[in-house]
Amino acid sequence: MISVKMNELVKNSSAIRAMFEEGKKMAAKYGKENVYDFSLGNPSIVPPATVKQAIFDILNEESEMFVHGYMSNAGYEDVRKTVADYLNKTHGTNFDEGNIVMTVGAAGGLNIALKAVTNPGEEIIVIAPYFGEYDNYISNVDGVRVVISPDIERFSINFEELEQKISPKTRALIVNSPNNPTGVVYGEEDIKRLAAVLEAKQKEYGTTIFLIADEPYRELVFGGAKVPYLTKYYKNTFVGYSFSKSLSLPGERIGYLTIPSEMEDFENVVGAVSVANRIMGFVNAPSLMQRVIGRVIGQTSDVSVYEENKNILYKALTEYGYSCVEPQGTFYMFPKSIIPDDKEFCETAKQYHLVLVAGSTFGCPGHFRIAYCVDKQTVLNSLDAFKKLAEHYKK
Amino acid sequence: MISVKMNELVKNSSAIRAMFEEGKKMAAKYGKENVYDFSLGNPSIVPPATVKQAIFDILNEESEMFVHGYMSNAGYEDVRKTVADYLNKTHGTNFDEGNIVMTVGAAGGLNIALKAVTNPGEEIIVIAPYFGEYDNYISNVDGVRVVISPDIERFSINFEELEQKISPKTRALIVNSPNNPTGVVYGEEDIKRLAAVLEAKQKEYGTTIFLIADEPYRELVFGGAKVPYLTKYYKNTFVGYSFSKSLSLPGERIGYLTIPSEMEDFENVVGAVSVANRIMGFVNAPSLMQRVIGRVIGQTSDVSVYEENKNILYKALTEYGYSCVEPQGTFYMFPKSIIPDDKEFCETAKQYHLVLVAGSTFGCPGHFRIAYCVDKQTVLNSLDAFKKLAEHYKK
């Protein structure tokens, strides 16, 4: 009785969620401390104490009608101004409140950006490996997904293939850096090259190609890695941001979209994004959480925990014979599976109580994802299991 | 550069919002106290004090990782159980947590219900006058809107036309009682008749027809009017609820969908609704607000204010010669415009500093909507303007 499209989706549901459910079952069977569940990208560290304080202060200082009330579909003007000012200070940009639309997480932001610009049948490019939900977001607007195959040497962008696959029907390209699942950060050179390719193709076809940057991991970077702010390199860029990871607030669904004034047809695009926020049923980002952001912008949870976990895992796994591009951010890494069949590899991993997600889930077979947003002790305890898993295939 | 569909939407934007903007301009020009803005359905009364207390208690008593964290896409199990228990106690139903999906307001709920069941090209029926956003929700899933023309005598359902217009392609019917814009409540007889029509048509065509009840105004009823709980009359019913109006929390985007176990293909439908919550970008209803609902379910703001406003307006307007079906709930009324051209009528109303919304906006010309969710003094002050507006056309 459900729709045909949904029937398939329900059957397959989320492979990541499925592994997570599997992990819970294993924990029940073997004891939680004996299962190393690296399946879900769920922050493992508490929000900064200032979040709680901000909520108390807001409820004590501001009117309830204002704090819980309707505002413009784009969000509270003062909060948007605060976000703009923060971005300007951090990235040397020149935004004001008109460039910011508060959204229901980055997922909400990406959906309304796609809704605003996509006509049915237009092509949306994704770069493998990529977060599988993009497929659904593209399908929501009847777009056609085009996948760029992975550059498995360094998990940057396969530029030759990108140039070949951009067509007159290309409407947008989704990029995600710091990247889920690889942990790679696109450096400035890559971004400049990307911008040049897009500019050239726009000119060649006389079209507008939007770059949609999905950036929930922007602050989760290691060794001082720099994440270029993409609107500075390419004017037709939407930046989708979420506070889910940086402030450990994934359940609250709070984020924003940045839309630079230089974007073609800027006024209409901003109008369309606001209307999309309304008509897709979001209406506006949750109001109290918007006001919280207005007070804690620029702060983060203690994300150094993730770097520590990465260091432990990367060192150990490479010693055990795993091959892996070293992550520069996020809380993911994406090593090669010891055998080409990544699904079988993840099945075998379960024998050693390791819950991992197969690379195929991200459009990149032969690899697997470790979500190391877990406590350090779990990482340390898991090392022997990773060692045995590698040895399993050397027998 | 925006999509063709969006281009139209941005141009027309929301007629209601446009009137609201107009009202703000008029307030700036003539002084706020001299403009009677009845354009927006924005609650005018404070949330109950228990909402603030609940937020404080939650933050003091529950773990931050839990309160702000991910949960199942359907929402926290304990909150869903609390909602189910409340419904059972209130309506004699038999729900448990598996029948409740927490949503981003009723707008989010309606969108995921439609997404779950609609195939492109299937027909979704709406009953005029109706909330214009339904058009967009139907368009989001590539459904075909079918409008039942208004029963202007009592603003119930035009059953003869409904029977004619249900086709083998009918997938769902959206009903909204207490109704925006008329304030009418569908009584038990109407609901029984509606259920009988739907049952008969399902049998005739061998199809499943879903009833989608949009119920954000359920608690805003006058004179003890009863609002039947529709799952008790027709098993293929989704009930979409929002706390925006009952708790005066419209900015927080918190609501739920009820899906009865008796619904055909129940397990799959619940699965599809949860997946739709995820893939449309909502992911889950805002977490802290879910937990607030778990503590304040069954409470409301002091909604008697709306009944008082209704009584004042209804008595005065009928005296002045307006013809109006008396509202039994909501904070809206929907009188006949004195002249057939409702748009011209609302334009003229501005001369008297009245900001009203034309009935055409709701698919019912010849009427206008008054949103009397304003303070009582504004209602009292506006009466003379309504009188002069009626006299304007008697000259």
- Res. A20 pLDDT band, cuts 50 70 90: confident
CATH topology of domain B49-296: Aspartate Aminotransferase; domain 2 (3.40.640)
**Is A70's CB within 8 Å of B40's CB?**
yes
Facing A249 at nearest CB: one of B68, B249, B275: B68
CATH architecture, domain defined by A4-47+302-392:
Alpha-Beta Complex (3.90)
pLDDT in tens, B202-239: 999 999 999 999 999 999 999 999 999 999 999 999 99
CB atoms within 10 A of CB A51: 24
Residue in B42, B35, B34, B36 with CA at minimum distance from that of residue B17: B42
Please give the DSSP secondary-structure letter assigned to residue B327: P
pTM of the entire structure? 0.96
CA A1 to CA B207: how far, in whole Å? Answer: 9
Please give the DSSP secondary-structure letter assigned to residue A393: T
Q: Are A366 and A349 in contact (CB under 8 A)?
A: no
CA A20 to CA A39: how far, in whole Å? Answer: 6
Helices (H), B63-149: 64-67, 77-91, 105-117, 133-140
What average pLDDT does the segment A277-297 reach? 98
Element (H, E) at B242: strand B237-242
Q: Which residues of B touch A238 (CB under 8 A)?
A: none
- Res. A11 pLDDT band, cuts 50 70 90: confident
Nearest CA in chain B to A75: B251
Beta-carbon contacts of A85 under 8 Å, excluding residues fewer than 6 positions away, are: none
Instruction: Give the pLDDT of residue B116.
Output: 97
**Is B2's CB within 8 Å of A70's CB?**
no
Query: How close does chain B come to A253, measured CA to CA in Å?
Result: 6
> Which amino acid appears at position A299 of this protein?
Q
Residue in B253, B372, B23, B215 with CA at minimum distance from that of residue A71: B253
pLDDT in tens, A148-159: 999 999 999 999
Instruction: Give the pLDDT of residue B19.
Output: 74
**Strand-strand pairing, B144-148 and B123-127:** parallel
Beta-carbon contacts of B355 under 8 Å, excluding residues fewer than 6 positions away, are: B19, B20, B22, B23, B26, B35, B36, B37, B38, B39, B349
Nearest CA in chain A to B264: A1
Q: Which residues of A touch B105 (CB under 8 A)?
A: 281, 283
**Is B115's CB within 8 Å of A51's CB?**
no
Residue in A140, A98, A121, A116 with CA at minimum distance from that of residue A3: A140
Main-chain phi, psi angles of B211, to 5 degrees:
-100, 125
The verdict on B116 touching A (C-beta cutoff 8 Å) is yes
- Res. B9 pLDDT band, cuts 50 70 90: confident
Residue in B362, B254, B275 with CA at minimum distance from that of residue A288: B254
Nearest CA in chain A to B119: A3
Q: Are B255 and B216 in contact (CB under 8 A)?
A: yes
CA distances from A52 to A80, A247, B67, B208, B290 (A): 21, 11, 11, 47, 17
Write out the residue limits of the CATH 3.90.1150.10 domain(s) in chain A: 4-47+302-392
Residue in B116, B177, B161 with CA at minimum distance from that of residue B143: B116
The verdict on A4 touching B (C-beta cutoff 8 Å) is yes
User: Per-residue pLDDT for B67 more than 70?
Assistant: yes
**Is B282's CB within 8 Å of A281's CB?**
yes
**Is A275's CB within 8 Å of B6's CB?**
yes
Q: Which residues of B touch A142 (CB under 8 A)?
A: 142
Nearest CA in chain B to A132: B279
Q: Which residue has the tokens 């209602």?
A: B379
CB atoms within 10 A of CB B237: 23
Write out the residue limits of the CATH 3.40.640.10 domain(s) in chain A: 69-296
User: Per-residue pLDDT for A178 more than 70?
Assistant: yes
Query: How close does chain B come to A69, measured CA to CA in Å?
Result: 4
CA A172 to CA A217: how far, in whole Å? Answer: 21
Choose between B335 and A23: higher pLDDT: B335
The verdict on A271 touching B (C-beta cutoff 8 Å) is yes
Residue in A294, A350, A259, A289 with CA at minimum distance from that of residue A39: A350
Write out the residue limits of the CATH 3.40.640.10 domain(s) in chain B: 49-296
pLDDT in tens, B26-49: 989 999 889 999 998 889 999 999
Provide the 3-class DSSP secondary structure of residue B36.
strand
**Is A65's CB within 8 Å of B46's CB?**
yes
The verdict on A110 touching B (C-beta cutoff 8 Å) is yes
Q: Which residues of A touch B5 (CB under 8 A)?
A: 119
Q: Which CATH class is domain A69-296?
A: alpha beta
Beta-carbon contacts of A109 under 8 Å, excluding residues fewer than 6 positions away, are: A101, A103, A238, A240, A241, A242, A255, A256, A257, B281
